[in-house]
Chains A and B, each alone.
Chain A
Amino acid sequence: MTSIEIIPGEMRWWTDRANPLRRPAGGAVFRELLGAVLGDPSVGRRVLVVGPHDDKVLGWFEDRETTVLVRSLSDAEQISAADPRVAVVCGDLDQFATTVRAPWDLVVALDGVGRLASNDFATTAWSARTASLSRLVADDGVLLVSVDNPLSLVDLADARPAAERRDEGDWEPPASVDGTRPASAAHAGAAFSGSGLSGVCYAASWLPTQPGVLVEVGTRADDVRLRSALGRDVLALADHELLFDPTAAALATLRAGRFADAASGWVLVLRRGTSLPALPTAILADGGNRATTFDTAAWATVPPGDLVVEAALRLVQTEDLAALRDLVAGYLAWVADMGIGYAADEVLLADGSFEVLGQPAPLPGDAVATAALWLARRLLATDVRRVWPPWLDDNGVGRALTAMAGIATDAARFEEAGAGARPHAVSHDLSSLRALNAQLLLDIEAARGQVTAHERLAAHRDRQLERRSNQLRDAELRATRAESRSTGGGVAVRRIVRGVLHPVNAARAVRRRLSRS
């Protein structure tokens, strides 16, 4: 039997946690961030989790006195059933904030404040909701809150009509009409300063509620580790309808030092009064359910070199196949030596030697075949110059890469490797699909050309065959005649030969003979 405190605004016939448009907050990166906060002994025991969060998030507070506030009644029932230790309150944030309750030592709102207001009440502005949230934080309490970036690359790349993007609820007006929503990381931080809360702001991507990357705003961000993590995490956008793959644009913002401006959102760790816990400078997902944290010193030590995939793409784009051959040969030989396949997106090339970046999971199956197939699929992306003919599909190019490396190719090895080689890339965006369409049209044209060429060849062969047949027949007749002469063959044989060679004359001769008789 579960117990839920229902306050005004509980929403029936609604779920936020099962919303396919916006997953509940969670993931390995947030776990590391919260771990850093909870590890500080000055942070008290009373925790309030506000809004839809993943079930696993509640497990991170197992030794704390935890309260959860959600607006959806079915979400509340699920949370309460899954973890009876947690006190669950269901209803509207403003209603919750106006009731007299002891403030909390730690308030966690990693889904932001977009899904905290009930449609039983008139829509409130972002600033009003954050004000309500801030009131729940104790004098020396900590607030973790996510803020969506209205100018994020993912939003710009979003192909859905505006009406389909309202993941916070269709009854809400579009976010663009709320002038209180922050449009920059600086605005986001300033929005809480009026409540006496200040602290650290992180840029987060790709999903604001389950980011694979968190980097403190204001720190240097152009880093091979960050590029690798962003590339790895882009698979989180697999369910998104996109106009273009935002990766290239994101990497450009890294180079320009403007990652925070284009990030999907910002995560703020704020405290009122006392000093903040010791926090990491960056947290990067390693894939799977793991993430690595970097303190200031670790983040400052940038590994030299490029990712193998970056180097390979550059060489293909410039059609420097000789250098590509050397790179691929070195990379696949390194994989073969180790007997463990690491994706080209996870391997660093520096001064001609290869090194795994971070602690990624190795590729499954045949190490060389899977690594080659992974790289092949990255090099066959629609925005990459095509240096292999169309009849070489991804398996074919993978085998060509192993051939480049001087490693014996075996089609069966590549068939088996197919499932294990799922590169970090967006391939379903409108731009890629248009490029694919153009490529397919070229492929069709090429196939038609081949059909035409084969038809011409066939016609030529037909003519050759007819000529050769005639020559053969003549030769046979001449041979028969010669044989007849040499053997004194009878009149009948000669007539037959003449009849075949000169049928009109033969017919006239037969008619003459018949008329005489």
Chain B
Amino acid sequence: MHHHNHYYGQAHILARYCGLNDRYPPPIPGYLQHGWNVFDGWNPQHEFYPGAWRFTWSDAPRRRGLMLGRREYRVIGAPWNYLLAMEPDLGVVPDHERVGTLWFLFHGWERGEIAGEHARLIDEIKETEPGPVTMSLYYTEYERPEIRSFYQDAGFRVICFGKRGWNYEGTNRTFLHHQLAELRRHKRVASNRLSTAVFYGASVGCVPAVYGDPMELAGEDTAFGGTERIARLWPDLHGKDIDLDSVRALVDGELGCASLHSPDELRLLFDWGRDDEH
């Protein structure tokens, strides 16, 4: 129903989980939260069509959305959890072979670029990370040579998982599959802002870290309270040396791991039927 539902191939994952057409997934009758955020999964000004249901990852977004007078929330957990359920072996290596850090640079988007001190950040990463660093850039930064070269010249392996898509076009349907495989090869996951990828990495056993210049995003909405609010609410997930076991419950909570639906239940919830099989 909304092109955001296709971002990162999340609708495709859910369709496959339900045994339906995952190349052209049937429409989800509402809005699927497409990334972790500090509000209700969307921004406070987001326009929804009347009566729309909102499918969130966890309960906190539901609670915050109700505060705005929005209704019709249903917590289903992150599509990432459904991918993990379907791909228990994808990219898995023995623990002793997991090496290095998959480092996610806070990224811009189609309508806003980031600005910050990349050189200083690289110095801090080198000082901090015990092993080789794989730098994950979103395509908005990856396709800017002046940014990509910073990290390549630093000796990091630089990768990009592709595009999340826009208006149903250009979506890398296996975006999260590749991310999962990479995370399972690394020992640590890190970023300069607490963000979706950090939760994903921690959920598959990467030791998380959040540090460094959080950088500025052009036109960033301060309504969320900024990085200060995120640090206040999740202090345990900030720092260079985080104990994974101590934050596991927190990570599972934000990803809504306890809300995994069965395929039958999800099909009913999305009004997906046999006609959607092919």
Instruction: Enumerate chain B residues within 8 angstroms of A391, measured Cβ to Cβ.
Output: none
Instruction: Enumerate chain A residues within 8 angstroms of B62, measured Cβ to Cβ.
Output: 171
Stretch at the interface among B6-14, B64-72, B126-134, B170-178: B64-72
Check B229–A13 contact: CB distance below 8 A: no
Known: A13-B223, A119-B60. A8 touches B67 (CB 8 A): no
| Residue among B44, B59, B224, B229 facing the most chain A CB atoms (10 A cut-off) | B229
Instruction: Enumerate chain B residues within 8 angstroms of A122, measured Cβ to Cβ.
Output: 59
Chain A: CB-nearest residue to B234: A8
Query: Is the C-beta of A170 less than 8 angstroms from some C-beta in chain B?
Result: yes
Check A6–B223 contact: CB distance below 8 A: no
A122 to B67 Cα, complex, angstroms:
14
Instruction: Enumerate chain B residues within 8 angstroms of A170, measured Cβ to Cβ.
Output: 66-67, 69
Check B225–A120 contact: CB distance below 8 A: no
Query: Is the C-beta of B232 less than 8 angstroms from some C-beta in chain A?
Result: yes
Query: Which chain B residues (60-104) contact chain A, with CB distance < 8 Å?
Result: 60, 62-64, 66-69
Query: Is the C-beta of A260 less than 8 angstroms from some C-beta in chain B?
Result: no
Check B64–A119 contact: CB distance below 8 A: yes
Check B225–A171 contact: CB distance below 8 A: no
Known: A7-B232, A13-B44, A13-B68. A171 touches B63 (CB 8 A): yes
Query: Is the C-beta of B268 less than 8 angstroms from some C-beta in chain A?
Result: no
Instruction: Enumerate chain B residues within 8 angstroms of A10, measured Cβ to Cβ.
Output: 225, 229, 232
Query: Which chain A residues (92-135) contact chain B, with CB distance < 8 Å?
Result: 119-123
Which among B59, B60, B223, B233 is the interface contact of A8 at CB below 8 angstroms? Answer: B233
Query: Which chain B residues (225-258) contact chain A, with CB distance < 8 Å?
Result: 225, 228-229, 232-233
Query: Is the C-beta of A14 less than 8 angstroms from some C-beta in chain B?
Result: yes
A73 to B64 Cα, complex, angstroms:
14
Check B64–A120 contact: CB distance below 8 A: yes
Count A-B contacts at CB 8 Å. 43
Query: Is the C-beta of A12 less than 8 angstroms from some C-beta in chain B?
Result: yes
Check A120–B223 contact: CB distance below 8 A: no
Chain B: CB-nearest residue to A171: B63
Check B229–A169 contact: CB distance below 8 A: no
By size class, the interface of chain A is 10 to 19
Chain B contact residues, majority secondary structure: helix
Which among A6, A91, A169 is the interface contact of B67 at CB below 8 angstroms? Answer: A169
A171 to B64 Cα, complex, angstroms:
7
Q: How far is the CB of B163 from chain A (nearest CB, A)?
A: 31
Instruction: Enumerate chain A residues within 8 angstroms of B67, measured Cβ to Cβ.
Output: 11, 13-14, 119, 169-171
Q: How far is the CB of A395 from chain B (nearest CB, A)?
A: 43
A171 to B60 Cα, complex, angstroms:
9
Question: Could you give, for residues 1-23 of chain A, a 1 whenever the CB lies within 8 Å of some chain B CB and a 0 otherwise?
Answer: 00000111111111000000000
A121 to B68 Cα, complex, angstroms:
16
A337 to B225 Cα, complex, angstroms:
66
Check B223–A169 contact: CB distance below 8 A: no
Instruction: Enumerate chain A residues within 8 angstroms of B60, measured Cβ to Cβ.
Output: 119-121
Instruction: Enumerate chain B residues within 8 angstroms of A119, measured Cβ to Cβ.
Output: 60, 63-64, 66-67
Q: How far is the CB of A238 from chain B (nearest CB, A)?
A: 24
Known: A12-B223, A13-B68. A6 touches B232 (CB 8 A): yes
A6 to B63 Cα, complex, angstroms:
20
Instruction: Enumerate chain B residues within 8 angstroms of A91, measured Cβ to Cβ.
Output: 232
Chain A: CB-nearest residue to B224: A12
Question: Could you give, for residues 201-230 of chain B, a 1 whenever the CB lies within 8 Å of some chain A CB and a 0 otherwise?
Answer: 000000000000000000000011100110
A12 to B233 Cα, complex, angstroms:
14
Q: How far is the CB of B224 from chain A (nearest CB, A)?
A: 8
Check A120–B68 contact: CB distance below 8 A: no
Chain B: CB-nearest residue to A6: B232
Check B66–A120 contact: CB distance below 8 A: no
Chain A: CB-nearest residue to B233: A8
A8 to B228 Cα, complex, angstroms:
10
Q: How far is the CB of A123 from chain B (nearest CB, A)?
A: 8
Instruction: Enumerate chain B residues within 8 angstroms of A12, measured Cβ to Cβ.
Output: 44, 223-225
A123 to B229 Cα, complex, angstroms:
20
A169 to B65 Cα, complex, angstroms:
11
Instruction: Enumerate chain A residues within 8 angstroms of B225, measured Cβ to Cβ.
Output: 10, 12
Q: How far is the CB of A189 from chain B (nearest CB, A)?
A: 31
Chain A: CB-nearest residue to B223: A12
A514 to B77 Cα, complex, angstroms:
115
Q: How far is the CB of A16 from chain B (nearest CB, A)?
A: 11
Q: How far is the CB of A502 from chain B (nearest CB, A)?
A: 85
Check B66–A171 contact: CB distance below 8 A: yes
Instruction: Enumerate chain A residues within 8 angstroms of B63, measured Cβ to Cβ.
Output: 119-120, 123, 171
Q: How far is the CB of A178 from chain B (nearest CB, A)?
A: 16
Chain A: CB-nearest residue to B222: A12
Supplied contacts A6-B232, A13-B67, A170-B69, 15 more A-B pairs, CB within 8 Å: A7-B232, A8-B232, A9-B233, A10-B225, A10-B232, A12-B44, A12-B223, A12-B224, A12-B225, A119-B64, A119-B66, A120-B64, A120-B233, A171-B63, A171-B66
The 30 sampled A-B contact pairs (Cβ below 8 Å) are A6-B228, A6-B229, A6-B232, A7-B232, A8-B232, A8-B233, A9-B233, A10-B225, A10-B229, A10-B232, A11-B67, A12-B44, A12-B223, A12-B224, A13-B67, A13-B223, A14-B67, A119-B64, A120-B60, A120-B63, A121-B60, A123-B63, A169-B66, A169-B67, A170-B66, A170-B69, A171-B62, A171-B63, A171-B64, A171-B67
Complex A-B, nearest 9 residue pairs according to Cβ-Cβ distance, in ascending order: A171-B63, A119-B63, A171-B66, A170-B66, A8-B232, A8-B233, A14-B67, A13-B44, A119-B64
